[in-house]
Homo-oligomer: A and B are copies of this chain.
Amino acid sequence: MTIGGEDLKTAQTGTVGRSIPRLEAAAKVAGRAEYVHNLQLPGMLHGKIFRSPIAHGRIKRVDVSAARAVAGVHRVVTGEDVRAIVADPHYGPAFHDQPILAFEKVRYAGEPVAVVLASDPHAAEEAAQLIDVQYEALPAVFDEVEAMTSKAVVHEVLRPAGAFPDLRHLQGRKNTNVALDFHLRRGDAGGAFSRADRVFEHTFHTQQVLHVPLEPFVSAAEPGEGSVTIHTASKSPSFVRVEVARLLGWPENRVRVKVPYLGGGFGAKLYIKLEALVTVLALLTRRPVKIALTMEEQFYTLTRHAASLRIKSGVTKEGRITARECEVWWNGGAYADIGPRVTQKSGFTAPGPYDIENVSIDSYALYTNLPPAGALRGFGIPQLVWAYESHTDMIARELAMDPVEFRRRNILRDGRPQATGTVMKDAAIEKVLERLAARMEWKKPFERGSGTRRRGRGIAIGFKASISPTTSVAIVNLYADGSCALYCSTVDMGQGSDTAMAQIAAEVLGIPVEAITVVHPDTDVTPYDMATLGSRSTYHMGNAVRRAAEDARDKLLAAAREAGLPAETTPIAEVFRRKYGMQAGNIVGTGSFIPAYTPTDHDTGQSPNVTPFWMVGGTGAEVEVDTETGRVRVTRLVNVADVGKPVNPRIVETQLSGAAVMQLGFTLFEKMQFDGGQVTNASLAEYKIPGMRDIPVMENEAVDGAERGGPFGAKGVGETGTFSVSPAIANAIEDAVGVRLMSLPLTPEAVYRALRAKQGKPLDD
């Protein structure tokens, strides 16, 4: 087919694989890109949330009279008001556990208890400070391991959402904080340990950290006639529609969810955040209602799981790992959000990208009285890789074996079963390891510094399954001049999905990418997509888009053949002229994609098909450690990844480096501090995220791979760069100064303490 007279082939025009500039770049530079924060609706009320100051307690009395008396306040809404008008006051993707507004109980410090509505957001904020709530404090639990046995129980009874089969057995369970227990058993770990030449066991910890998208959470709702339109900075518009419809007891078609551009997401803006709340407020007031959180309020909304991870390995003297046991406790905070899936999905990759015959894994999602934890770029994998790749280096060091060589002897190769029993395919673990070693010039001598500045280097590799089974649907509407619209609910939050999807459609249709308009998510318009998460979009939506474009192309070619035109060389516009005469007409193609999947067995975690594809990423770090201050300077970071065949190499590059920088912050300094469950550093003045001066020299490489199931050989890359940064740096620190840190972040203080301990000196010497 051709467009505009230009001759282009129907396939492999070279659009896919090219670093085409992002479609939205000009609009963003010009300040024309739409964000919900900028949305103004006639008659709109602004909501300001009043939050619980205590971590666990019964609500005895809510006095909103002073707040209501503030000039300009339209209404003050409490959890009891909300309960009165919904079919279910509890939302959540895994458990129906989170109240739209707290009622009866609060379960973490920062939980929303009431909302003040005013035309002026400042009036609302002033009034919110006047709300007076009396609580009866309850014992609280904050540590994930303690939560296993604590008498402080966060939820009286468990109420799984029903969507996930591996949660159904928890229905109605009482007196427990365990929101999911995942178990995997393969081979005979016990026997293998007893036969092993060496056994190593280490326990690691990670901290609570935050997504910090520069656009905080924001949602607005407009009431209609028995309907509602929600404008939201969400990565899961389809889920929001279905869940809000369920909460209200309405059919789906009465709930419309529109998503413009997002100012970052990183896993935070998934499932329900403010959407149910603004919807209920809009229905209560019959006015549009918007809530825009502050940066500070992000600290009370969603975090990354802190985790405790115990890993034990049995190893032969030749350096083969024969047995592994993992126990992981995930600190899920007060509401499960998608935490149980983090537990399950990261659980089954806990042995790492290694070929280990005998495996035993126990992974627990725990409720605690902290802010809820959920998905954050990597979905549990960076925490796991932190532990298992620190552990790997520690073993190699004990065996006096080169850490690259030790990994080389153990890595999982295509055709071999992973711990779940799923046979590996198209996972370029070996290529990633070897390219990493080559880029790091691992065999060459390394300059180790001198005096108080010591240099070291480290590597780490990790892998991740994709979320499964998930569904994507796409529509391609081809216009008479060969330009077209692509309807797709994938949310472009800065990762470049609009451009990648347009490239895939352009490739199939043989048209320039500029001829494609990507219609932004709007559940009345763009068809279902599970969500933009887990690096699933390029593969899942990419396949749906490819199929939709192929469907349109096939219909176009059929029209050409019916008209007796040479199908492959006739310009698209000419086919339309012959098919539609005086009319312009449209040709609509549809595509749907849902990969096959077999759920993991409840007792053994086994499944012959646990994921449609694997993401593989490795990082090499070079560091300089100041032995006087403990300060670690990362001087070089090499990120190597298997992304299949990149759709847009430049976007892949920015995904890898963006992910690595994000994980660098989590590795070196980011940490939420708590006092009695209350966040004590809830501001970007006190919670540091990486700035330009923290970013090391970085190199990114996509190995020569190909995902056979992906569109044009592509697979996801959004998280891959996060996997291995933390252990690579920790391994480099030990290489530099001989201390091993078991907890994140690797702050100067932690390094300094370890150095002093190693030297047997007191801290203040």
Pair A225/B594 contact, Cβ less than 8 Å:
no
Q: A584: which B residues are within 8 A, CB to CB?
A: 238-239, 242, 252, 471, 528
A451 proximal to B (CB < 8 A): no
A589 CB → nearest B CB, Å: 8
A163 proximal to B (CB < 8 A): yes
Q: A597: which B residues are within 8 A, CB to CB?
A: 581
A130 proximal to B (CB < 8 A): no
Query: Roughly how many angstroms separate A470 CA and B581 CA in the complex, as a whole number?
Result: 9
A582 proximal to B (CB < 8 A): yes
Q: A530: which B residues are within 8 A, CB to CB?
A: 583
Which residues 8-34 of A have a CB within 8 angstroms of B? 26-27, 30, 32
Q: Which of A4, A482, A525 counts the most chain B CB atoms within 10 A? A: A525
Query: Roughly how many angstroms separate A253 CA and B513 CA in the complex, as a whole number?
Result: 11
Pair A528/B585 contact, Cβ less than 8 Å:
yes
Pair B26/A470 contact, Cβ less than 8 Å:
no
Q: A224: which B residues are within 8 A, CB to CB?
A: 27, 32
Given contacts A245-B481, A253-B484, A483-B251, contact A588 B473 (CB under 8 A): yes
Pair B525/A525 contact, Cβ less than 8 Å:
yes
A674 proximal to B (CB < 8 A): no
Q: A519: which B residues are within 8 A, CB to CB?
A: 524-525
A446 proximal to B (CB < 8 A): no
Pair B487/A525 contact, Cβ less than 8 Å:
yes
Which residues 301-356 of A have a CB within 8 angstroms of B? none
Q: A470: which B residues are within 8 A, CB to CB?
A: 583
Query: Roughly how many angstroms separate A405 CA and B525 CA in the complex, as a whole number?
Result: 56
Pair A527/B26 contact, Cβ less than 8 Å:
no
A423 proximal to B (CB < 8 A): no
Q: A590: which B residues are within 8 A, CB to CB?
A: 588-590
Pair A592/B582 contact, Cβ less than 8 Å:
no
Q: Which residue of B lies closest to A162 (CB)?
A: B582
Query: Roughly how many angstroms separate A649 CA and B336 CA in the complex, as a whole number?
Result: 53
Pair A225/B586 contact, Cβ less than 8 Å:
no
A484 CB → nearest B CB, Å: 6
Q: Mark A586-627, 1 if CB is under 8 A from B, else 0.
A: 111110101001000000000000000000000000000000
Pair B588/A594 contact, Cβ less than 8 Å:
no
- Picked from B245, B473, B516, B524, the residue with its CB within 8 Å of the CB of A517 is B524
Pair A253/B479 contact, Cβ less than 8 Å:
yes
A226 proximal to B (CB < 8 A): yes
- Picked from B477, B527, B583, the residue with its CB within 8 Å of the CB of A477 is B527
Pair B524/A485 contact, Cβ less than 8 Å:
yes
Given contacts A525-B485, A583-B594, A584-B242, contact A515 B251 (CB under 8 A): yes
Query: Roughly how many angstroms separate A487 CA and B519 CA in the complex, as a whole number?
Result: 14
Given contacts A225-B32, A583-B594, contact A252 B480 (CB under 8 A): yes
Q: Which residue of B lies closest to A165 (CB)?
A: B582
Q: A527: which B residues are within 8 A, CB to CB?
A: 477, 586, 588
Q: A528: which B residues are within 8 A, CB to CB?
A: 479-480, 583-586
Query: Roughly how many angstroms separate A590 CA and B516 CA in the complex, as a whole number?
Result: 20
Which residues 239-255 of A have a CB within 8 angstroms of B? 239, 242, 245, 251-254
Q: Mark A462-487, 1 if CB is under 8 A from B, else 0.
A: 00000001110101010111111101
Q: A4: which B residues are within 8 A, CB to CB?
A: 251
A207 CB → nearest B CB, Å: 31
Q: Mark A203-230, 1 if CB is under 8 A from B, else 0.
A: 0000000000000000000001110000
Query: Roughly how many angstroms separate A481 CA and B252 CA in the complex, as a whole number?
Result: 7
Q: Which residue of B lies closest to A243 (CB)?
A: B584
- Picked from B164, B226, B239, B516, the residue with its CB within 8 Å of the CB of A253 is B516
Q: A524: which B residues are within 8 A, CB to CB?
A: 485, 517, 519
Q: A164: which B residues are within 8 A, CB to CB?
A: 582
Which residues 99-137 of A have a CB within 8 angstroms of B? none
Pair B253/A583 contact, Cβ less than 8 Å:
no
Pair A588/B469 contact, Cβ less than 8 Å:
no
Given contacts A515-B251, A594-B580, contact A225 B27 (CB under 8 A): yes
A573 CB → nearest B CB, Å: 10
Q: Mark A510-521, 1 if CB is under 8 A from B, else 0.
A: 000011110100
Q: Which residue of B lies closest to A164 (CB)?
A: B582
Given contacts A485-B525, A592-B588, contact A583 B251 (CB under 8 A): no
Query: Roughly how many angstroms separate A609 CA and B659 CA in the complex, as a whole number?
Result: 64
Query: Roughly how many angstroms separate A525 CA and B523 CA in the complex, as a whole number?
Result: 12
Q: Mark A249-273, 1 if CB is under 8 A from B, else 0.
A: 0011110100000000000000000
Q: Mark A19-61, 1 if CB is under 8 A from B, else 0.
A: 0000000110010100000001010000000000000000000
Q: Which of A165, A251, A530 counts the most chain B CB atoms within 10 A? A: A251
Q: Which 9 pairs of residues, A with B, have the shortest CB-CB distance?
A: A253-B483, A528-B586, A26-B225, A251-B483, A471-B583, A588-B590, A527-B586, A252-B479, A253-B517
Query: Which A residues contact B (CB, under 8 angstroms)?
Result: 4, 26-27, 30, 32, 40, 42, 163-165, 224-226, 238-239, 242, 245, 251-254, 256, 469-471, 473, 475, 477, 479-485, 487, 514-517, 519, 522, 524-525, 527-528, 530, 580-590, 592, 594, 597
A-B CB contact pairs (8 Å), 5 listed: A238-B584, A242-B584, A527-B586, A528-B585, A580-B594
**Other CB < 8 Å A-B pairs besides A253-B484, A589-B590, 16 of them?**
A27-B224, A30-B225, A242-B481, A242-B584, A252-B584, A469-B583, A471-B583, A471-B584, A475-B477, A475-B588, A480-B528, A487-B525, A517-B524, A525-B525, A528-B583, A587-B592
